[in-house]
Structure 1
Amino acid sequence: MTSLQEHLSHPKYRPDIDGLRAIAVLSVIAFHAFPSSLQGGFIGVDIFFVISGYLISTIIFQNLEKGTFSFTEFYARRVKRIFPALILVLVACYVFGWFALFADEYKQLSKHIAAGAGFVSNIVLWSEAGYFDNSGETKPLLHLWSLGIEEQFYIFWPLLLWFAWERNFNLLTITVLIAIVSFGLNITGVIAHPVATFYSPQTRFWELLCGSLLAWTTLYKKDSFSAIKLKLDGWLAGAVYRNSHAADGKTLANALSILGMLLLAFGFFIINKDLNFPGRWAVIPMLAAVMIISAGPNAWVNRIVLSHPLAVWFGLISFPLYLWHWPLLSFAQIIETDVPSMNIRAIAVLLAVALAWLTYILIEKPIRLGSHSRAKTAVLLLLMLGIGYVGYASYSRDGLGFRKADAQTKTKMYADVNGTVLYNTPEDWVDERCKTVLEGASYNYLMCRFTTATPKMLVVGDSHAAQFVYDSISKGSNDLALVGVNGCLPFIDLVSINPTEEFAEKSTRCRVVVPIVLKLLKEFPSIQRVVFATRGAMYIEGFGFGNTDSKNLYRIIKSPDDVLTENYNQFVSGYVATINEILKLGKAVVFIEDVPEIGISAKNCVDERPLRITDKALPECDVSRKSFEERNINYRRAVDAINAATHKRIKIFPAYEYLCDESTCGGMHDDMSYFYDDDHLSMRGSKFIFDKFTEWLDKESK
Structure 2
Amino acid sequence: MPPSPATPPSLSHPAYRPDIDGLRAIAVLSVIIFHASPRWLPGGFVGVDIFFVISGFLISTIMFGSLAGGGFSYAEFYARRIRRIFPGLVLVLIATLAFGWWVLLADEFRQLGKHVLASAGFVANLVLWGEAGYFDTVVETKPLLHLWSLAVEEQFYIFWPLLLTLAWKRQHLLRWMGVAVGLSFLLNVGLVVRHPDAAFYMPFTRVWELGAGAMLAWVAWRRGPGAAPLPGHQLMGAAGLACIVAALGLLDRYKAFPGFWAVLPVLGACLCIAAGPQAWFNRRLLGSRLFVWFGLISYPLYLWHWPLLAYARVLQEGFLDPPRVLRFGALGASVLLAWLTFRFVERPLRRGGRGVVAGLAGAMVVLALVGAAAQLRWLLPRNDDPSIQAIMNASADWVYPEALKPFTFEGQGFERIDGGEREVLLIGDSHVEQYRARALALAERKPDEVSTLLFATRGACPPIPNLIEDRDPICGERLSAALDLVRTPAVKAVVIGGCWGCYFDVDQSPPAASAPPPPDHYYYRDTQGQRHMLRGGDGVDQSIAALGRLLAEIRAMGKTPYLLLNIPVGADFEPRSRLTGNRLERMTAAPVTPMAPLPPSQAALHERLRQLALANGAIPLDPMAGLCRPDGQCVRADGQGDPVYKDATHLRAAYVREAATFLDTALLAPASR
Considering the TM-score relative to the shorter chain, is it more than 0.5? yes
- The aligned residue for residue 351 of structure 1 is 333
User: Following the alignment from structure 2 to structure 1, what is the Cα–Cα distance between the partners of residues 523 and 173?
Assistant: 45
- The aligned residue for residue 309 of structure 1 is 289
- The aligned residue for residue 392 of structure 2 is 414
Match of 1:63 among 57, 60, 66: 66
How big is each residue's C-alpha offset from its partner over 1:209-232, in whole Å with a ceiling of 9 and x where there is no partner?
1111211111113699969x4xx5
Percent of counterpart pairs with the same letter? Answer: 37
User: Following the alignment from structure 1 to structure 2, what is the Cα–Cα distance between the partners of residues 637 and 205?
Assistant: 53
- The aligned residue for residue 108 of structure 2 is 105
- Report if aligned partners of 1:541, 1:567 keep a CA contact under 8 Å in 2: no
* Count of matched residue positions in the alignment of Structure 1 and Structure 2: 608
How big is each residue's C-alpha offset from its partner over 1:514-542, in whole Å with a ceiling of 9 and x where there is no partner?
99x989x9xxxxxxxx9986544568899
Q: How far off its partner does 1:303 sit?
A: 2.1
Relative to structure 1, is the Cα distance of residues 46 and 568 closer, same or farther in structure 2, using a 3 angstrom cutoff? Answer: farther
Could you tell me which amino acid in structure 1 is paired with residue 341 of structure 2?
A: T
- The aligned residue for residue 379 of structure 1 is 359
- The aligned residue for residue 511 of structure 2 is none
Q: How does 1:547-626 map to 2 (within 5 A)?
A: 592-598=564-570, 602-608=574-580, 610-612=582-584, 625=599
- Report whether the alignment pairs 1:74 with 2:56: no
How big is each residue's C-alpha offset from its partner over 1:414-463, in whole Å with a ceiling of 9 and x where there is no partner?
35677x6x35x878x58xxx9xxxxxxxx9966799xxxxxxxx999876
User: Following the alignment from structure 1 to structure 2, what is the Cα–Cα distance between the partners of residues 445 and 594?
Assistant: 23
Relative to structure 1, is the Cα distance of residues 210 and 613 closer, same or farther in structure 2, using a 3 angstrom cutoff? Answer: farther
- The aligned residue for residue 217 of structure 1 is 219
- The aligned residue for residue 194 of structure 1 is 196
- Report whether the alignment pairs 1:643 with 2:614: yes
Q: How does 1:415-494 map to 2 (within 5 A)?
A: 415=393, 422=398, 464=431, 487=457
- The aligned residue for residue 145 of structure 2 is 142
- The aligned residue for residue 126 of structure 1 is 129
- The aligned residue for residue 45 of structure 1 is 48
Relative to structure 1, is the Cα distance of residues 49 and 651 closer, same or farther in structure 2, using a 3 angstrom cutoff? Answer: closer
- Report whether the alignment pairs 1:365 with 2:365: no
Relative to structure 1, is the Cα distance of residues 622 and 200 closer, same or farther in structure 2, using a 3 angstrom cutoff? Answer: farther
- The aligned residue for residue 266 of structure 1 is 246
- Report whether the alignment pairs 1:676 with 2:656: no
User: Following the alignment from structure 1 to structure 2, what is the Cα–Cα distance between the partners of residues 301 and 602?
Assistant: 54
Query: What's the Cα RMSD here?
Result: 5.3
- Report if aligned partners of 1:460, 1:533 keep a CA contact under 8 Å in 2: yes
- Report if aligned partners of 1:598, 1:622 keep a CA contact under 8 Å in 2: no
Q: How far off its partner does 1:412 sit?
A: 5.3
Q: How far off its partner does 1:645 sit?
A: 2.5
Match of 1:207 among 209, 212, 215: 209
**In structure 1, the residue corresponding to 2:315 is in which secondary structure?**
helix
Task: Please list every run of 5 or more consecutive structure 2 residues that lacks an aligned counterpart in the other structure.
Answer: 1-7, 406-412, 420-424, 507-518, 526-541, 665-673
Relative to structure 1, is the Cα distance of residues 294 and 477 closer, same or farther in structure 2, using a 3 angstrom cutoff? Answer: closer
Q: 191-200 or 485-494, which moves further after superposition?
A: 485-494
User: Following the alignment from structure 2 to structure 1, what is the Cα–Cα distance between the partners of residues 523 and 84?
Assistant: 43
- The aligned residue for residue 240 of structure 1 is none
- The aligned residue for residue 87 of structure 1 is 90
Task: Please list every run of 5 or more consecutive structure 1 residues that lacks an aligned counterpart in the other structure.
Answer: 233-251, 435-442, 450-457, 522-529, 543-549, 557-565, 695-702
Could you tell me which amino acid in structure 2 is paired with residue 602 of structure 1?
A: E
- The aligned residue for residue 510 of structure 2 is none
Relative to structure 1, is the Cα distance of residues 659 and 321 closer, same or farther in structure 2, using a 3 angstrom cutoff? Answer: farther
Q: How far off its partner does 1:674 sit?
A: 5.1
- Report whether the alignment pairs 1:658 with 2:661: no
- The aligned residue for residue 529 of structure 2 is none
How big is each residue's C-alpha offset from its partner over 1:90-136, in whole Å with a ceiling of 9 and x where there is no partner?
22222221121122212222222222112122222222222322221
- Report if aligned partners of 1:461, 1:484 keep a CA contact under 8 Å in 2: no
Q: How does 1:175-186 map to 2 (within 5 A)?
A: 175-186=177-188
- Report if aligned partners of 2:551, 2:616 keep a CA contact under 8 Å in 1: no
- Report if aligned partners of 1:463, 1:534 keep a CA contact under 8 Å in 2: yes
User: Following the alignment from structure 1 to structure 2, what is the Cα–Cα distance between the partners of residues 486 and 106?
Assistant: 34
User: Following the alignment from structure 2 to structure 1, what is the Cα–Cα distance between the partners of residues 225 and 16?
Assistant: 21
- The aligned residue for residue 374 of structure 2 is 394
- Report if aligned partners of 2:573, 2:596 keep a CA contact under 8 Å in 1: no
Q: How far off its partner does 1:191 sit?
A: 2.2
- The aligned residue for residue 547 of structure 1 is none
Q: How far off its partner does 1:68 sit?
A: 2.8
User: Following the alignment from structure 1 to structure 2, what is the Cα–Cα distance between the partners of residues 124 and 508?
Assistant: 30
How big is each residue's C-alpha offset from its partner over 1:340-397, in whole Å with a ceiling of 9 and x where there is no partner?
1112111211111122112112221111114xx2222222222223322332342233
User: Following the alignment from structure 2 to structure 1, what is the Cα–Cα distance between the partners of residues 573 and 375?
Assistant: 21
Could you tell me which amino acid in structure 1 is paired with residue 338 of structure 2?
A: A
- Report if aligned partners of 2:417, 2:440 keep a CA contact under 8 Å in 1: no
Relative to structure 1, is the Cα distance of residues 128 and 466 closer, same or farther in structure 2, using a 3 angstrom cutoff? Answer: closer
- Report whether the alignment pairs 1:405 with 2:405: no
Could you tell me which amino acid in structure 2 is paired with residue 642 of structure 1?
A: A
User: Following the alignment from structure 2 to structure 1, what is the Cα–Cα distance between the partners of residues 476 and 171?
Assistant: 40
**In structure 2, the residue corresponding to 1:156 is in which secondary structure?**
helix
User: Following the alignment from structure 1 to structure 2, what is the Cα–Cα distance between the partners of residues 164 and 472?
Assistant: 55
- The aligned residue for residue 302 of structure 2 is 322
User: Following the alignment from structure 1 to structure 2, what is the Cα–Cα distance between the partners of residues 552 and 131?
Assistant: 16
Could you tell me which amino acid in structure 2 is paired with residue 339 of structure 1?
A: D
- Report if aligned partners of 1:409, 1:603 keep a CA contact under 8 Å in 2: no
Q: How far off its partner does 1:406 sit?
A: 3.0
Q: TM-score, normalised by structure 1?
A: 0.71
Q: How far off its partner does 1:71 sit?
A: 0.8
Q: How far off its partner does 1:468 sit?
A: 7.2
How big is each residue's C-alpha offset from its partner over 1:576-603, in whole Å with a ceiling of 9 and x where there is no partner?
687899987xxxx975422133279935
Relative to structure 1, is the Cα distance of residues 651 and 26 closer, same or farther in structure 2, using a 3 angstrom cutoff? Answer: closer
Match of 1:33 among 28, 31, 36: 36
Q: How far off its partner does 1:650 sit?
A: 4.7
- The aligned residue for residue 422 of structure 2 is none
- Report whether the alignment pairs 1:286 with 2:266: yes
User: Following the alignment from structure 1 to structure 2, what is the Cα–Cα distance between the partners of residues 593 and 115?
Assistant: 41
